Amino acid sequence: MLYTQGLKVGFYEKTCPNAEAIVKKTIDQTIAVAPSLAAPLLRMHFHDCFVRGCEGSILLNSSTNQAEKNAPPNLSLRGFQIIDKAKSAVEKACPGVVSCADIVALTARDVTVAMKGPFWKVETGRRDGNVSILNEALQNLLSPFANITTLKQGFLSRGLSGKDLVVLSGGHTIGTSHCPSFTNRLYNFTGKGDTDPSLDRNYIAKLKSKCKPGDQTTLAEMDPGSYKTFDEGYYTLVAKRRGLFQSDSALLADSETKAYVKLQATTHGSTFFNDFGVSMVKMGRIGVLTGTAGEIRRVCTKIN
């Protein structure tokens, strides 16, 4: 077995042999009836890992609404009840063995597969943290308005590369976004009632018809036409200057990330599926608690 900081593929082989199958069953049943939960459940792992590491802090509730999940960037996360459902099914089989952090990591893989995306082997053995602070989410999560310098720095500071950034951005092939995450690009880009010059003009017109100024609630597809299928379509759009977020368009402002976008766009995503699994494994190692650190939560929303 390959050990990385105490993580390994098949960590629960002896202690809870059916753990992964139980999680997968819960996810498959969920996505069959609610495919729109796939993207937020994938994003949940990302948002967990970028704040304190992949240790389940995103799941904790706070009686005073001061936990990570209460931070504005996390208010659009959905699917917490699915993590709880998977956890209770696993608890039935093996009480007190499988961490919530691992269930989040397994879920990210399983929703990707359910949306016809790649399969990868998930390293397990994470333990759950017992701290969750709203402000840390505000400080550590990368904004959809971020430029390439900020994005790369955010990844590099966590041991991830520019390639990991452009590969994991491909997760935007599924899901939707609320208008306020991008309407500044349509109506008031520099404060002069102007549009973002890095956005395709025809696409701007299309988005304006969807999102009127001040619209807080309408959802736009991240990858129009195939937002319910995990594919390389995202790169085709970004290459055509149709990335929805500034952080998507920013990938064209750096030679390394731009070359990757062009490669996937022109080769039908020749390496994307494989690359995505590799980068997800790397992301899943950020700041993990292993061994005797942390705990195995009984219920994912609260510490034992």
Residue 220: enclosing H or E segment and its boundaries? strand 219-221
The long-range contacts involving 260-264, CB below 8 angstroms and separated by at least 24 positions, are 260/163, 260/166, 260/167, 260/235, 261/166, 261/235, 262/235, 264/170, 264/232, 264/235, 264/236
Coil/strand/helix, residue 183:
coil
Phi, psi angles (nearest 5°) of residue 251: -65, -15
C-alpha triplet 140, 142, 144: angle, nearest 5°: 155
Tokens 């959802």 correspond to what residue? 219
Q: Which two tokens stand for residue 103?
A: 């269930």
Known active-site residue 47: yes
Which candidate in 47, 172, 178, 268 is catalytic?
Answer: 47
* Rounded distance between C-alpha atoms, residue 147 and residue 143, angstroms: 9
Tokens 């590491």 correspond to what residue? 53
Residues 5, 290 contacting (CB under 8 angstroms): yes
* Rounded distance between C-alpha atoms, residue 95 and residue 37, angstroms: 27
Q: Could you list the active site residues?
A: 47
